[in-house]
Amino acid sequence: MALISIHQICALFPATNCNDHLSHSRVPPSTAAVRAVPAAAILRSRFSNREREEVMLSSLDRVGRSFSLSCSASTAAVEEEEKEGNRSGVGVFVMMALDSVTMGNKVNRRKAMEVSFQAMKGAGVEGVMVDVWWGLVEKERPGEYNFGGYEHLLGMAAKYGLKVQAVMSFHQCGGNVGDSCTIPLPKWVVEEMEKDPDLAYTDQWGRRNLEYLSLGCDNLPVLKGRTPVQCYADFMRAFKHNFNHLLGNTIVEIQVGMGPAGELRYPSYPEQNGTWRFPGIGAFQCFDKYMLSSLKAAANVAGKPEWGSTGPTDAGHYNNWPEDTQFFKKEGGGWNSTYGEFFLSWYSQILLDHGDSILSHASSIFKPSSVKISVKIAGIHWHYGTRSHAPELTAGYYNTRYRDGYTPIAQMLARHGAIFNFTCIEMHDHEQPQDAQCSPEKLVRQVKLATQKAQVPLAGENALSRYDEYAYEQIVRASREMCAFTYLRMNTQLFEEENWRRFVGFVQKMKEGKNGHRSWEEKKKQQVERLAPNLQSETNLFQRV
């Protein structure tokens, strides 16, 4: 009964596409296990007037409390294990909706959020991941920060005993498939980019990408007298000042955004306006004047000034495959030449330098507290089986059949004690189009070896929304070497009855780890049966609204 009742939470969430910030994949219909929810219709029928809305929200509050009670025994057992130091599992965090805080700096769907937090806590979820958008907080003027909505949201998490992974989101939201809202960069940043278009990443055809500032201008005072890196540092410093009382207890992790979708990479596969489609190889993003200036300086140092005038122009288009291009083809491709080694070394190294610079500031700002710092790396698994690994190269990861591109990233993170957060943990090789030589499982294994070599903690995320046991089992297997896992994402579909039941079981398996506790169903049976009459009455009340 508890599962049926908590399903009603979905009526308060908008029907959205949930595949936010994807590392792309194709999932067979047989494994998707997703049913559509007519949320809009529910909202129209039940929110016909203010009185009905208040009655329903009141009912949901009571349902949430009842659900939490039904789960309390298992949660208490896990907490007891933590106190005794016996816990060997992995805590699960859940990503919140991208628009959890509105453009007006208010908590979005606050009542539904509260009930959802109760349900998450009752299910044994460790905490939630929250995007703290630069474009919301420092929206109007440089140096003026409004954390109002986040104060309420993080306060709610603390109230229900949920921990928080706070993402310093210095990128734009919107324009990619699955983005359920649009949150641009701060207004004053956009104004500067309009004055100087070269502040944006640029491809060889002159296409500008406004998702994130070009790292070529990282250390130039192009933003009202400040450098981009100074702006990122000032933002993090303001966040610490505002939430210092929650750092280390409620806020346990700061994930530092470093590129599009918050990932340390170039915007080489932009989906806006259909520019890129899976599984295209993407395109190099080094043609703004600041990046070209850096390339020219590197070429002069290498004694090859002729290599500094432009990036590769024979690397194909966004939707080509490696063998369609001169630069990425397996035999005689430019990627495996002396010039290719020079260019790819420079292209990947300045990305590492970008991450290193921002992490230096993040470490000095947050390290006095016990909060952890993490960085997200994209799971680019398509064309992984080719020699050149073209999509990884255009994204800035110098990883080929003959070169390990992930150990240098892990070593950079290790210098700052940061966590290596990686996506596509839920994927199986055979689910992906084999003509594109996709191999997420081999990629995950390579990343695990890199983090072990560098002695840096590894955390994971699922790249796509999945609700099926097959994906959950893959995550549980992969989690043995992980310090945490973040599930994408809190939405309508997650709260469907069968999806929620499977998710709760998955959370329990993750928390159990190697201890092999009794199944979730066994632990809950008596509590659910005892509470069934109360929960049934709540459901009936909901249905009458």
pLDDT digits over 467-515, tens only? 999 999 999 999 999 999 999 999 999 999 999 999 999 999 999 875 5
Which residue blocks in 85-109 are alpha helix, DSSP H? none
Residue 272, pLDDT score: 87
Q: DSSP letters along 45-64, please?
A: HH-SSHHHHHHHHHHHHHHH
Assess if residue 60 is contained within a domain: no
What percent of the chain is modeled with pLDDT above 70? 77
| The predicted structure's pLDDT at residue 20 | 43
Instruction: For residues 119 and 78, give the distance between their C-alpha atoms in angstroms, rounded to a whole number.
Output: 16
Provide the annotated binding site for substrate. 131, 171, 179, 376, 381, 423, 462-463, 489
Residue 175 lies in a domain: yes
CATH at 518: 3.20.20.80
174 Cβ contact list (under 8 Å, min separation 6): 181, 182, 183, 184
Of the chain, the percentage scoring pLDDT greater than 90 comes to 75
**Domain count of the chain?**
1
Averaged pLDDT for residues 205-226: 98
- How far, in Å, are 60, 98, 320 from residue 169 at the CA level? 31, 11, 30
3 state DSSP class of 484: strand
Instruction: Classify 105 in phi/psi space as left (phi over 0), alpha (psi -120 to 50) or beta.
Output: left
The span from the CA of 35 to the CA of 284, in Å, is 38
Say what the pLDDT of residue 48 is: 39
Q: What is the number of residues in the chain?
A: 545
Annotated catalytic residue 461: yes
Residue 444's identity, in one-letter code, is V
Among residues 263, 392, 431, 441, which one is catalytic? 263
Domain membership of residue 34 (yes or no) is: no
- How many Å apart are CA 94 and CA 217, to the nearest integer? 34
Is the CB of residue 473 less than 8 Å from the CB of residue 498?
Answer: no
Q: Which domain holds residue 136?
A: 87-278+353-528
DSSP letters of 200-263? EEE-TT--EEEEEE-GGGTTS-TBTTB-HHHHHHHHHHHHHHHHTTTBTTTEEEEEE--SGGGB
HSE of 510, CA atoms in CB hemisphere, 13 A: 31
Task: Inform me whether the pLDDT recorded for 531 exceeds 50.
Answer: no
Q: What is the mean pLDDT of residues 249-274?
A: 96
Residue 432 forms part of a structural domain: yes
Ramachandran class of 187: left when φ > 0, alpha when ψ lies in -120 to 50, beta otherwise: alpha
- Determine whether 263 is an active site residue: yes
Q: Is residue 42 part of a domain?
A: no
Burial class (CB in 10 A: 0-12, 13-18, 19+), 283: buried
pTM for the model: 0.84
Residues making up the annotated binding site are 131, 171, 179, 376, 381, 423, 462-463, 489
Mean pLDDT of 364-374: 93
| Residue 523, CB-side half-sphere exposure with 13 Å CA sphere | 22
In a domain, 57, yes or no: no
In this predicted structure, the answer to whether residue 94 has a pLDDT above a threshold of 50 is: yes
138, 211, 431, 461: the catalytic one is 461
Q: What is the DSSP string of 271-282?
A: -GGGS--TT---
Backbone CA torsion sign across 3, 164, 456, 268: positive
Does residue 347 lie within any of the structural domains? Answer: no
The mean per-residue pLDDT over the stretch 427-432 comes to: 96
Residue 204 domain-assigned (yes or no): yes
pLDDT mean over 295-315: 98
Indicate the range of 23-37, 107-121, 184-198, 251-265 predicted with least confidence. 23-37
For residue 46, what pLDDT is reported?
Answer: 35
